[in-house]
Amino acid sequence: MMSRFASLFLICCLICLSFTLAYCESEDSDLDLIPHTLENLEANKSSQDITSSISGKTYVEDAVTGWLNRSDLQVPLPIQNLNLRNRISLDIDYKWQIDKWVTLSLSDRLNDYVGNSISLFSNGSVGNDFREGFLTFEVFQGNYLEAGRINIKNGTALGYNPTDFFKTQSTVNIVSMDPSAMKDDRLGTVMIEGQRIWENGTVTVAFSPKLQKESPLVTSSTASWDALFGKTNYTNRFLSSLSFNIASLNPQALIFFDDIGTHLGLSLSQIISSSVVGYLEWAGVSEENLEGRAIASARNTGLLSSGTPPALQSNSGQAFQHDIAVGASWTSDSKLTINLEYHYHQAGFNGSDFNRWVSLGKSNSTLAQEVWFIRQYASDQQEPLMQHEIFARFDYPDVIQSKLNLGLVAFFSPYDGSVLVQESGQYFLSRVLTFGGFLSESSGSKSSEYGTLPWALSLTLRVLWYL
């Protein structure tokens, strides 16, 4: 395994070297091709000398959340269920243009939690989320090297991204259920990345080394100072991607290697009209199903003994598994955008698997712990629990010009009709003060996908103060 990744890393370095030796092309005319980690650098930089500068934001966030928990939960939780929690955070996100060719980026959040049995500034209440910290070096115009902790993102869908291979075990606590918000506000991965950008395309290669053994899945609500490299860098990983801009069609092909195997990916977006965009993502790899991977992770991290049998007995060994996200967005003249998507996750539960999940969990408290772990593992991997899922998203900025934004995200289960939905609103009182509210509901029968969640209703009130 190590020899294979060593060879891939050598290939990565050689490709980066070839970028370096390539002649300089004219400055890109399509800035949308430039990745998020580079776009500000490229957009703000002229062909003249650039003096040192710092740009970014610092803000204080206070978010208090209350939950209305179910008293008749079919599968009992193995841990105490929260009913009230407050998080106050100091959030920084900055880019330092050191000189014309080098930029330093840093994104970090300091948190303190209060709620249930956690008191202010007590042990386990204070922690830190080190999201990103990396250097960007423009070797020649359009040729970049980056090194550090980087949140590298792929995929055109909003509710689920099969080709977003670095998403696993990277989530941090945020108030929004919107997967696109989680994608922007998560832990990066320590890596070295090379990119070649030209007028109609981008080539990216990245290698992420193993730094620590895999960390156990965190099931408690306590905070931590751990940088969590055991989540983001517990195995060697390599990514290569090629994207093009061909008229109104934007394809991307990806290949990704990790301890599971070789992942193939394809992403497409197509402008259909001035208000409609269609998109498709596909990824495939030979792997075990959701239960098999969850139980293997629990054994590897010591949460289950090596001889513990799978509770559901649904694992049939490795097979080539497909993941698909297909959808479209429509934008009105008033800037309302609606996204509708279908997600297919072949390795997830089918209806029979989920029914066994419920029946086993409610019949035996020991099995309840194992079956809940499978569900938490799926969430930690940012993959659907079930094989089929429908997703909808509404985004309505400037309902009141420069004052009020409204939004909604919803997940629908085609198996049982249960729904998980979150409505949100943000009111911009001034340039430095924003108030927000997030109302979340999980509805369905007692034995349905979302009706078995521990809470039926939650409300979060948030204040942002920009410094």
User: Mean pLDDT, to the nearest integer, of 436-448?
Assistant: 96
pLDDT at 195 over 70: yes
User: 393 versus 83: which is more confidently predicted?
Assistant: 393
pLDDT at 26 over 70: no
Give how many domains the chain has, as a whole number: 1
* Residue-level pLDDT at 55: 94
User: 386 versus 215: which is more confidently predicted?
Assistant: 386
User: Mean pLDDT, to the nearest integer, of 212-233?
Assistant: 84
At 400, phi and psi to the nearest 5?
Answer: -115, 120
At 38, phi and psi to the nearest 5?
Answer: -120, -15
* Residue-level pLDDT at 59: 97
At 462, phi and psi to the nearest 5?
Answer: -135, 145
pLDDT at 93 over 90: yes
User: Mean pLDDT, to the nearest integer, of 28-54?
Assistant: 49
Name the strand (E) or helix (H) holding 230: helix 229-232
Name the strand (E) or helix (H) holding 187: none
- Residue 201 identity: G
Confidence of residue 47 (pLDDT cuts 50, 70, 90): very low
Percent of all residues in the chain with a pLDDT value above 90, rounded to a whole number: 67
* Residue-level pLDDT at 246: 87
At 47, phi and psi to the nearest 5?
Answer: -75, -10
Whole-number mean pLDDT of the chain?
86
User: Mean pLDDT, to the nearest integer, of 1-15?
Assistant: 42
User: Mean pLDDT, to the nearest integer, of 318-322?
Assistant: 94
Confidence of residue 122 (pLDDT cuts 50, 70, 90): low
Confidence of residue 38 (pLDDT cuts 50, 70, 90): very low
Percent of all residues in the chain with a pLDDT value above 70, rounded to a whole number: 84
Give pairs for 125-131: CB < 8 Å, separation 24+: 125/222, 125/223, 126/223, 126/225, 127/222, 127/223, 127/224, 127/225, 128/224, 128/225, 129/172, 129/187, 130/187, 130/227, 131/107, 131/172, 131/185, 131/186, 131/187, 131/188
pLDDT at 120 over 70: no
pLDDT at 50 over 70: no
Confidence of residue 310 (pLDDT cuts 50, 70, 90): low
Question: Any idea what the CATH number is for the domain that residue 396 is in?
Answer: 2.40.160.10
User: 4 versus 160: which is more confidently predicted?
Assistant: 160
Give the lowest-confidence range in 9-18, 211-220, 434-443: 9-18
Distances (CA, A) of 205 to 233, 238, 263, 295: 17, 8, 15, 31
DSSP 330-386: EE-TT--EEEEEEEEETTSB-HHHHHHHHHHHHH-HHHHHHHHHHHHHHHHTT--SB
Whole domain around residue 426: which residue ranges? 2-466
pLDDT at 217 over 50: yes
* CB contact at 8 A, 282 and 321: no
Confidence of residue 125 (pLDDT cuts 50, 70, 90): confident
* Residue-level pLDDT at 20: 37
pLDDT at 3 over 60: no
pLDDT in tens, 330-366: 999 999 999 999 999 999 999 999 998 898 888 877 7
User: Mean pLDDT, to the nearest integer, of 425-435?
Assistant: 97
